[in-house]
Amino acid sequence: MRGKLEVFMRSLNVRAADVENLVNISHQQINMGLAVSGGGYRSMLTGSGFLLGMQEYGLVDCLNYITGVSGGSWILAKLISNGFDFDSLGQWELERSLLEGVPDLDIPDGNVATMLETNNLSEIFKADKWFYDKLTQASGLWKRNADPQPLDIFEQFYSELEQYTQLQPLGRLESRNPKPLSRITKAVARLFSSGGGKEEQVNKLLNASNEFRQVVQTYVALHLKVKSKKFEGFPLSFTDYWGHALIGAIAPSSEAKSVSSLLDQSPAFQNFKTPLPIFVANCKNKDLENAVFEFTPFEFGSWNSLGLFVKLRFLGSKIVAGQALKCFTGFDEVGFLAATSSSLFNNVLVYVWHLVAPSMDMRMAVRAIFSAFNLHGIKAEIEASNGGKEFSHPEYAIYQPNPFFGYPGKNNILAEQDQLYLVDGGEDGENIPIGPLLIEQRRLDVIFALDSSSDMGSFPNGSMLRNFYENHEIKSSSSSGPFNLLPYIPPSGEFVNEGLLSRPVAFGCHLESFPELYGRNQGNLSAVPLPPIIIYHANSEHSFPSNMSTFKLRYTADEVQKMIQNGKDIFNFDSSPKYKRCLACIISKRSYDRATIDSEEAPLPFFCEVCFSEYCYN
């Protein structure tokens, strides 16, 4: 890494003496991480461009970690699936919808999941429950004076699809005997018919719509892939289906495999030539708040809520009280982990299909497709396998067995249940996954925070970074948590008013930004990890209007390339040579601080003070 950083320093257009000073300072180990926020394809494409911009500067090879939630985690899934070929981030085929049957929509993120404008986390959980109710109580909403009852139709529809998967080869839906599809059509018509020609309308929709047939075929294919997990004895949730749909869209040429097996086959990873990828999710057991879990190539667990980890390779094994009773591998499927980190889209489906489908007929048809997932049956299976205990969130990712179940000495609700219910890593309002990068043991010097959240007009306003600051620096005791100290992060209004959203801004450049650092260590900083500098980049329009809706599910090839280019422009600040020099100063600052603390001679170039004045907030 030090050699790569030296190459970057020597690429600066500055005096030779200044280059040598920067090279000398950067000869110490400088640890860097990148946190890519959620935001669907908008975040995925912006983050791809950002990383490709870092690659052009030679800085990708200097990254120690990359964390991602939602769209950010999809970047990680693609990199892992493609052996960490960063060039693959410039190649996305997104002209086909990510979710068959769901139209592109422009819905504020808050209306679907987080509802951050309420300033009340309890409202977030109520929103989740509302979505669940809209799904699992659909039989009541759809009730008609038809015989049989709606739940029977659910089961019949599911069994027809299951029968079709057994009798018909996948991919030949239109050309084979139409009898199974005909029986499904009649079942759906019985459910939705209310006399007066409704049956004729539904039949016309089902039989004449090639789009509908393609949608059915898509979900039949997903069902074929998902049910193998059920045969292994694991409970299913919608996230299992979502994971297979997701990996098929972002890495279509690769097979769905476990993260562990993919990394075993990656020469780049095995030879320590890649940053460590970290998927980030939240836990919703008993309405927990800010219970962050992470998936690294080696471990799964939580620093701030549990303090326990299990080897990722053996996730899915039966472990009770810390003792392995039955080992299992393969549970850590790459699409499932990425889907866990982006389960906002589970809620999107419910929201869209119930409220904003373009017509009543299409709404009914898409509901019928959704019933093929048989979530009612899944719920019953989970309750039966769990001794009759209530399971209330089938839209969440189910991690059962819970590897931390009954762990000795842990008086924690996460050790009291045999299931962990994990959700989108941004559903706690911390849509930029910087938490894992602030763990003191990781000793990061610089954190790049790329924010593609949708706060105002599908652009960020700084509130997600502020949320983390409020939750972990203001509300919590800074001396008791696992996170390193944070510099002051201003409210979103200041981000807007001070123009901090259209250019890079660094928080915590100077150690004086951390007054508690001196008090906690009695002024002796020589033996403690210094808190990192956070370089915040907000998604903004540089060369392209990049405020696409989170729920825009298809992009043209031209839009893809323009979004990626805009991501590059965000990183390098429109290829500014001045900012490139300043970036070198900011990256080197902690190494300079350590040298100064140890009374070593390490002069910074004269222009660095100007850079700190221009780009450092604190």
- Asked whether 38 and 342 are in contact (CB, 8 A), the reply is yes
Band of pLDDT at residue 245, cut at 50, 70 and 90? confident
Cα 519 to chain center, whole Å? 36
Establish if 577 belongs to a structural domain.
yes
In a domain, 481, yes or no: yes
pLDDT in tens, 105-131: 444 444 444 333 333 323 332 333 333
What's the confidence (pLDDT) of residue 523?
A: 65
DSSP structural state of residue 286: G
In a domain, 87, yes or no: no
In a domain, residue 574? The reply is yes
Q: Which of 328, 343, 369 is the last residue of a domain?
A: 369
Distance CA 72, CA 87 (A): 16
**Of 223, 217, 213, 214, residue with least CA distance to 244:** 223
Question: Are residues 577 and 476 part of one domain?
Answer: yes
Average pLDDT over residues 182-186: 47
Beta partners for residue 292, in sequence order: 282
Same domain, 56 and 125: no
Which of 369, 398, 426 terminates a domain? The answer is 369
Count of domains observed in the chain:
2
Asked whether the predicted pLDDT for residue 349 surpasses 80, the reply is: no
Q: Are 450 and 570 in contact (CB under 8 A)?
A: yes
- With tokens 């669907």, the residue in question is 40
Cα separation, 293 vs 274, whole angstroms: 22
Query: CA torsion angle for 170, 175, 179, 181 (degrees, to 10)?
Result: 60
Domain boundary residue among 312, 340, 369? 369
Alpha-carbon distance 220 to 243, whole Å? 15
Q: Answer yes or no: is 239 within a domain.
A: no
Residue 114, domain member (yes or no) = yes
Q: Are residues 48 and 105 in the same domain?
A: no
In the block, residue with structure tokens 């018509």: 189
d(CA 34, CA 65): 6
* pLDDT tens per residue across span 506-553: 999 999 988 888 767 666 777 788 999 999 999 999 999 999 887 677
User: Does residue 168 sit within a domain?
Assistant: yes
Residue 307 has pLDDT above 70, yes or no: yes
For the beta carbon of residue 87, count every other beta carbon within 10 angstroms: 9
Supply the pLDDT for residue 584: 97
Same domain, 113 and 28: no
Quote the domain boundaries for residue 182: 100-231+358-369
Residue written as token pair 């205990």: 389
